[in-house]
A and B are shown apart, each in its own frame.
Chain A
Amino acid sequence: EIQLQESGPGLVKPSQSLSLTCSVTGYTITSGYDWSWIRKFPGNKMEWMGYISYSGSTNYNPSLKSRISITRDTSKNQFFLQLNSVTTEDTATYYCARLIPLTTEGIVSWDYWYFDFWGPGTMVTVSS
């Protein structure tokens, strides 16, 4: 079974960088699909942050484009989130998830992507 697990500091100071790791078991991240970061703010709002594809290409939410970087270590089957210049507004629970395209009877619909496996999440507080 595919499992994802986030890890990283739970407390980050304002203006510093937030760095998280997602460790994947049960599936090789270079075999296919995209590997995403999503966050949920206090109050329930959820935001897709970006993904790294199985080939290593990346796509980021434009709202974060100047501050975000998603990379990977294929030897460890891990991918990473770095968010720079954090403020208190970046306080959230951070999830990693697998992003897959809708496939019906073997036909892939490349316009319809959804998150089928999620990690349990890790809470990050930005505070001095």
Chain B
Amino acid sequence: DTVLTQSPALAVSPGERVTISCRASESVSTGMHWYQQKPGQQPKLLIYGASNLESGVPARFSGSGSGTDFTLTIDPVEADDTATYFCQQSWNDPYTFGAGTKLELK
């Protein structure tokens, strides 16, 4: 299975720019997607196809990458962005998820 590696946690101040990384153990082309999950809620789609912003998601969120290295950027970060962010790949079977990056605000 394709393993997706994310850093476990980040802490930033409101107004700053944050990048969350996801590295795949093998190429996933641009079949990488990002989700935000807040405690007690279901995951919410943010970015699909590595760089496409889901409808209704603020333009502060953006995604980039291809192959094995991907990035989710939030600029500027707001207090409401406190959450865990997951990457998910759909290029290789079975679909797999990263372990999530917990974003905390200082």
Contacts and interface: CB of A to CB of B under 8 A. Distances in A.
Contacts of B1: 63
B48 A45 contact: no
Given A44-B84, A46-B97, A111 B43 contact: no
A112 B30 contact: yes
A45 B48 CA distance: 20
Interface residues of B, number: 26
Contacts of B100: 44, 46
Contacts of B29: 111-112
A111 B31 contact: yes
A61 B52 CA distance: 26
B61 interface: no
Interface in A84-128: 95, 102, 104, 109, 111-116, 118-121
A102 B97 contact: no
Contacts, number: 62
B90 interface: yes
B90 to A, nearest CB: 4
Interface of A is mostly: strand
Interface in B64-106: 84, 86, 88, 90-91, 94-97, 99-100
19 contacts: A44-B84, A44-B99, A46-B88, A46-B97, A46-B100, A61-B94, A95-B42, A102-B49, A104-B49, A112-B29, A112-B30, A112-B90, A113-B90, A114-B33, A114-B45, A115-B35, A115-B88, A116-B54, A120-B42
Interface of B: 1, 29-31, 33, 35, 41-45, 48-49, 52, 54, 84, 86, 88, 90-91, 94-97, 99-100
Given A45-B97, A113-B90, 5 more contacts: A44-B84, A45-B99, A63-B1, A102-B49, A114-B49
